[in-house]
Amino acid sequence: MATGRNVMRAVRVSEFGGPEVLKLLSDVLLPNPKENQVLIKVHACGVNPVETYIRSGAHARKPALPYTPGTDVAGVIEAVGEHVTVFKKGDRVFTNGTISGGYADYTVAAADTVFPLSDKLDFKQGAAIGIPYFTAYRALFQKGHAKPGETVLVHGASGGVGIAACQIARAYGLKVLGTAGTEEGMNIVLRNGAHKMFNHREADYVDKIKEFSDVRGVDVIIEMLANVNLATDLQLLSPGGRVMIVGSRGPIEINPRDTMMKESSIIGVSLFCATKKLMHECETALLAGIEAGWLKPVVGPEYPLEKVAKAHEHLINSSGALGKMVLLI
């Protein structure tokens, strides 16, 4: 805590706008855990693209102002509210949601969004699990209905969700193809589940994917930038293939006839739409992945809490992701 026992540092957003609206304050009241909640001393917090959209006011979900961003924290239980029996003070944990916001020294979270952090992973890796891995699992299986033996193309595979999708798909018996924009990014993904990588900055990369996947095409595409790639994705699908839209930064024109020829599907993916039952399914699968050893988040850019505005600028403007961005608290 910053200056006393009842206050802490936290990033506050009082108006929607650019990264400059992220203000680090040192006199924010320490939140108290209520019934079925826990208080966590935050060691690291993941930075997700959706947080930049919400901060700018461009997202459909607009929190009441002022608010503290951040859902994916890793840290240590500081205190527990009434009726919480599964955690105690001192437990290492990670979350896929917070109540008071994760860009802070401490955060309150509902106990059912908090999970034990294995000794196999450090706090930075713990902060890289939440939205990326839950989204990747939901996209592949709950919405994409991927099956062992099918081919998945992860379009933009070197970021947090992309690496998560490759690790999960490989563990579940899929043939995994990926794209990235740099040699370094391609090598990271090859070490994390991909059987074959393609450089999406090369003019003929689509032809190379078609050649590699034979005439049939790919069964599932995990798409991070639909406003650029969707029309091309439809050309790469197998009969009955599915494009899972995980990210998009604007509109795109497509020819609906391209979906008719192969009876293909375009499906949006949002964790906000997942029921508690479906989130529990994700949780069960991912905790098993940590235990088995194949779920190993790749941490990318690291920023101290004081540089949160620069972190958001980097996330928006970077030309290619390399692992999962985290704030160090």
Domain count, the chain: 2
User: Does the residue 294 lie in any domain?
Assistant: no
Q: What is the pLDDT of residue 1?
A: 43
Check whether residue 32 and residue 91 sit in a common domain.
yes
Cα distance between residue 246 and residue 227, in whole Å? 11
Check whether residue 139 and residue 255 sit in a common domain.
yes
The pTM for the full model equals 0.95
Check whether residue 73 and residue 154 sit in a common domain.
no
Place of tokens 């990926």: 178
pLDDT beneath 50, residues of the chain: 1-4
Strand duo 37-46 + 22-29: pairing: unpaired
Here the tokens at position 199 are 């450089």
CATH code of residue 158? 3.40.50.720
Strand duo 175-180 + 324-328: pairing: unpaired
User: Does the residue 27 lie in any domain?
Assistant: yes
DSSP letter string, 144-181: T---TT-EEEEESTTBHHHHHHHHHHHHTT-EEEEEES
Check whether residue 171 and residue 84 sit in a common domain.
no
Residues pairing with 44 in the sheet: 74, 328
**Beta-strand runs (E) in the chain:** 7-13, 22-29, 37-46, 73-80, 92-95, 106-110, 114-116, 151-155, 175-180, 196-199, 218-223, 237-245, 265-268, 299-304, 324-328
Cα distance between residue 28 and residue 156, in whole Å? 38
Sign for the pseudo-dihedral over CA of 222, 225, 229, 231: positive
Q: What is the pLDDT of residue 318?
A: 82
Q: What is the pLDDT of residue 208?
A: 95
CATH code of residue 99? 3.90.180.10
Buried b (16+ CB within 10 A) or exposed e, 12-46: bbeeeeebebbebbeebebbebeeebbbbbbbbbb
Here the tokens at position 311 are 């972190």
The answer to whether 1 and 7 are in contact (CB under 8 A) is yes
User: Does the residue 97 lie in any domain?
Assistant: yes
* 3 state DSSP class of 316: helix
Q: What is the pLDDT of residue 60?
A: 87
User: Does the residue 2 lie in any domain?
Assistant: no
* 3 state DSSP class of 207: helix
Closest alpha carbon to 111 in 39, 37, 35, 42: 37
The answer to whether 303 and 10 are in contact (CB under 8 A) is no
- Print the domain residue range for 150: 132-272
User: Does the residue 278 lie in any domain?
Assistant: no
